[in-house]
Amino acid sequence: MLDMNWVRSHAEEVQRISNQKGIRLDVNELLLLDDQRRKVLHEVERLRKNRNNLSDEIGTAVYEKRIEEAAVLKEQARANNTRLSHLENDLAELQRHFLQMSLLIPNTVSPDTPIGGSDADNVVLRTEGELPVFDFAARDHVELGRIHGIIDIPRGVKAAGSRNYYLRGAGVLLHRAVQQLALDMLIDRGFVPLEVPLLATTEAMTNTGFFPLGQDQSYHLDEEDKWLVGTSEVPLVTYYSGEIVDLTSPIRLAASSICFRSEVGSAGKDVSGLYRVHQFSKVEQIVLCANDPVQSEALLQEITRNAEDLLQMLELPYRVMAVCTGDMSQKTYKQFDIETWMPSRKAYGETHSSSNLLDFQARRSNIRYRDPNDGTLKFCHSLNNTAVATPRILIPLLENHQREDGSIHIPHALRKYMNGLELLVPQATY
């Protein structure tokens, strides 16, 4: 959410960014609605003041037995209150409509964000690692999972429908190992780990910028009016909502949690394997810092570096992308995606995302701090990054490290979480 005074003075810019991000918002209509809302609010406040004054005057007239004057005043009060009641109803409707529209206002975008309409217009910033060259017919992760007995998609579909799966044996160990590796790395780098709720209120989803535009991607529990979170970013940021925080140094939080996404709009897309599933686990890093673009830019680079370091520990080739306007969410100011090489796709596939939101999210969530220079309250900047998401990361992990006999090399960094296992040997038992 942006300050409305800023929106008013930058209406053309806000409209341009809305168009670039594919958000259907008429900024001029919003401003006209705001003018009307303010006008009605001013009149409502005037009538409320009149009501109070008339009440006092009626009381005095009755006390002093000025009966005729009291009757006139009572008639004026009835007329005033009738008009006030109508205008309060009008104001409530205007406020509701204004809130709906204002929640569509996009964050600004950084000057170095590429302009584009989709992920096809994202820009490669750097490429790291050597792509594997196989002198044999390489298997995809589904086949590797089958011959190792570690991935069972048919039974996942039987249990829960499409885009579901079971992990077994060493598959579970790998799944948990990459999460623990990521969490240990973040703890070593000053992040505080939290175990977070997997349910969130509509208010929490809205305050963190996932609603209203992302509502169709979330699962709703109708009876409780709660939502299954698609990322621990929601509970991590909400942890400090409505609070004044100490930002003597940036707040760094991390969580490893199960996540759920409905994948609405992806019918027929990435239907095979583990790339796009309804349930997954993710290690998320969140940072809150001072309202300082220089500091938040440095932290964006830091959390992106954390994800890159993890991929290097996993011995995987990847590239870092500058995300264009048309591929960014409403709340994002600047974003990097990291794409890891997936041999079965003969392409890089997105595995990580880093975003700087400036104070957009903190305004919605009302997270503030005191400026050490003048003591004024300011909204924080917030940032987020996927340190690792699994089972998607298992795709490049299995495929890049496979050998001709079907065995799979275990990266050195994971072995301590795999009971010292150095190699997975095919042993399907299902």
**Whole-number Å distance between alpha carbons of 199 and 227:** 5
By DSSP bridging, strand 251-260 and strand 192-193 are: parallel
126: annotated active-site residue: no
Q: Look-up: residue for tokens 């011995």?
A: 315
Q: Which two tokens stand for residue 82?
A: 């009738």
189: annotated active-site residue: no
128: annotated active-site residue: no
392: annotated active-site residue: yes
261: annotated active-site residue: yes
User: Which residue among the candidates 139, 252, 261, 368 is catalytic per the annotation?
Assistant: 261
User: Which residue among the candidates 218, 344, 353, 355 is catalytic per the annotation?
Assistant: 353
Per DSSP, the chain holds a count of helices (H) and strands (E) of 13, 17
Q: Bridge-partner residues for 388, per DSSP?
A: 283
Q: How far apart are the first and last CA of the chain?
A: 51
User: Which residue among the candidates 350, 355, 363, 364 is catalytic per the annotation?
Assistant: 350
Q: Exposure pattern of 143-154 as b/e (b: 16+ CB <10 Å)?
A: bbbbbbbbbbbe
**Whole-number Å distance between alpha carbons of 155 and 132:** 31
**Whole-number Å distance between alpha carbons of 330 and 314:** 32
Contact 342, 399 (CB under 8 A): yes
User: Which residue among the candidates 16, 276, 305, 319 is catalytic per the annotation?
Assistant: 276
Instruction: For residue 263, give the nearest of 279, 247, 239 by alpha carbon.
Output: 279
**Whole-number Å distance between alpha carbons of 347 and 140:** 13
Name the residues annotated as catalytic: 261, 276, 350, 353, 392
